Amino acid sequence: MDKRKKQFDVTAASLVDLKAELYRKQEAFKQEKLVKDTGAPLKPKPTNKKSSIWNKQNEGVSDRAEKDVEQKTEEENTLDKSKQKLEEKARLYEQMTKGDLPDEETESLFLVDFTQKIIDQKRDAAKSTAVREPAEEALPDSEIPPPENPDQEWVDYVDSLGRSRRCMKKDLPELLKMDKNLHVKRQEDKGKTLLSEDMRRELQRQQWEEEEEAALKRPIGPLHYEDIREREARELGVGYFAFAQDEALRFKQRETLDMLRDQTTEQRAKREKLKGTRKAMLDARLAKVRQRKMKKLKGDGAEEELDVADNEVEKEEIVGPVPLLPEQKSPASVENKKVDVVIQERKDTKMGIPHVREWDKGKEFALGQWTSRRRDEREAEFAPPSEYFSDYKKPNQGKSWTRSRQGYPPQGPAARSPGSTQAAASQTPPPEQQSLDDLLAYYKHSV
């Protein structure tokens, strides 16, 4: 079935609603048209002034926004201050890397040796240039681009020193002129100093005669190295100072050097004194900190620990072997001595009575009595089965130690008859003096 020919089911109610809506729109259009024709002001459409959840703000939003603004300003100020401090540090570091140190006394406060740093930088720069120059010479000549003007053409020429040069055509006349002037000056210098070998020797002889005459006129005195050096060609190093041959000028130079040396020693002494003062201040601060810790710590144990730590520090400061005390003796003499072992009997106990420990004195009963009482008070149904003890009972386990007779009672038929016990009692000798082994055996069995 064709969709375009599909019929829609329209009810009468929907037609009435559509007609009413159309009539309402027509009336509204007519009223707007009349208002426009008469020129009367249009009434604003009523707006829904009811606040929605999107327009409502939470409590404290404005306060938090103000706090955020204040915090942001504080952070910006802090960042500006830190940036300013970093710029000052960078400026100071650049100044110190260039060698402009404030003074020698404050130089010891820095952990970086800027003088050595400057020397290393210059050395590295010299090495890099020395490596780069051979590499540049080894590179082949690059192709010259074609010139835009005739004056920009590259030309080769040889200067007065015999070197091959390359320059632009427009700069060639000026360079040739400079080369010519240099050649003329060199020719003039050569003309002035151009002497034969005989003339040069004659001039040297005359100069030597003048020096000898001056030495004869000079008063008799000490002979110095400068007087006999005679324009020596070798270099004597940085530490060498060439004094004048005149005694007065030489004396002034010596005084100047002595003054400089005294200034150096004085500055060194001041620096050492300043170091000592700083060390004393640091020791005083450490002593105050130690006293404060001692006040906080309570108890003899903590004080003893601190004393032990101080003694260890003092021992570490001692350098070299520690001398033996006069009381100390060699181990050989100790070994030669005889050791006498003396066995003493206890005097705090009586014969046949076990020793009572200090912490057991005053107690009503011992541990065995306490366990026996607990077993007597225990009900039979909670006791362990008798099989636990009958199976593992050893033959000698039933023997009991009698303290009166200090021996095991007889077993078998002799133990059952009372007459036998009396006979045994009559046959037993009276107690004699016990030895140390018997006492030890007694205490071992009693425990």
Count structural domains, the chain: 3
* 153 pLDDT more than 80: yes
The amino acid sitting at 415 is A
- Which tokens hold the place of 71? 């915090």
pLDDT above 90 covers what percent of the chain? Answer: 16
Domain final position from 82, 104, 133: 133
Average pLDDT over residues 315-343: 47
> What is the rounded radius of gyration, in angstroms, for the C-alpha atoms of the chain?
60
pLDDT number for residue 263: 93
Cα separation, 249 vs 256, in Å, equals: 11
Q: Do residues 246 and 226 lie in contact, with contact meaning Cβ atoms separated by under 8 Å?
A: no
- Count Cα atoms within 13 angstroms, Cβ side, for 12: 0
pLDDT number for residue 262: 93
pLDDT number for residue 233: 72
Cα separation, 110 vs 123, in Å, equals: 22
DSSP 17-70: HHHHHHHHHHHHHHHHHHHHHHTPPPPPPPP--PPPTTTPPPTTHHHHHHHHHH
Within a domain: 52: no
- Helix axis angle, 300-317 relative to 247-296, nearest 10°? 160
pLDDT number for residue 374: 85
For residues 103 and 171, membership in a common domain is answered with: no
Q: Estimate to the nearest angstrom the gap between the alpha carbon of 378 and the chain centroid.
A: 69
Within a domain: 397: no
For residues 90 and 120, membership in a common domain is answered with: yes
Average pLDDT over residues 150-170: 86
Within a domain: 221: yes
For residues 182 and 255, membership in a common domain is answered with: no
pLDDT number for residue 136: 63
Angle (CA) 116 118 120, round 5°: 70
Q: Do residues 169 and 151 lie in contact, with contact meaning Cβ atoms separated by under 8 Å?
A: yes
pLDDT number for residue 192: 59
Give the model's confidence band at 61: pLDDT under 50 very low, under 70 low, under 90 confident, else very high: confident
Mean pLDDT score across all residues of the chain: 74
Within a domain: 312: no
- Count Cα atoms within 13 angstroms, Cβ side, for 408: 9
pLDDT number for residue 144: 63
- Give the number of other Cβ atoms within 10 Å of residue 392's Cβ: 8
* 204 pLDDT more than 60: yes
- Give the number of other Cβ atoms within 10 Å of residue 245's Cβ: 15
Lowest mean pLDDT among 15-29, 123-137, 323-337: 323-337
Cα separation, 148 vs 153, in Å, equals: 8
Cα separation, 431 vs 404, in Å, equals: 10
pLDDT number for residue 313: 46
For residues 80 and 110, membership in a common domain is answered with: yes
Within a domain: 141: no
- Alpha helices of 194-319 — where are they, by DSSP H? 197-217, 225-229, 247-296, 300-317
Cα separation, 101 vs 107, in Å, equals: 7
The amino acid sitting at 202 is E
Within a domain: 311: no
Q: What are the Cα distances from residue 425, in Å, to 187, 267, 324, 428?
A: 151, 108, 69, 5
Within a domain: 162: yes
Q: Which residue has the higher pLDDT, 403 or 233?
A: 233
Q: What are the Cα distances from residue 387, in Å, to 156, 214, 374, 390, 395?
A: 126, 136, 21, 5, 16
Cα separation, 122 vs 115, in Å, equals: 11
Q: What is the DSSP letter of 166?
A: E
Q: Which residue has the higher pLDDT, 129 or 441?
A: 129
For residues 111 and 156, membership in a common domain is answered with: no
Within a domain: 87: yes
Q: Which domain holds residue 71?
A: 65-133
Q: Which residue has the higher pLDDT, 30 or 103?
A: 30
402: helix, strand or coil:
strand
Give the model's confidence band at 260: pLDDT under 50 very low, under 70 low, under 90 confident, else very high: very high
Average pLDDT over residues 100-116: 74
Long-range contacts of residues 355-362, Cβ cutoff 8 Å, at least 24 apart: 355/443
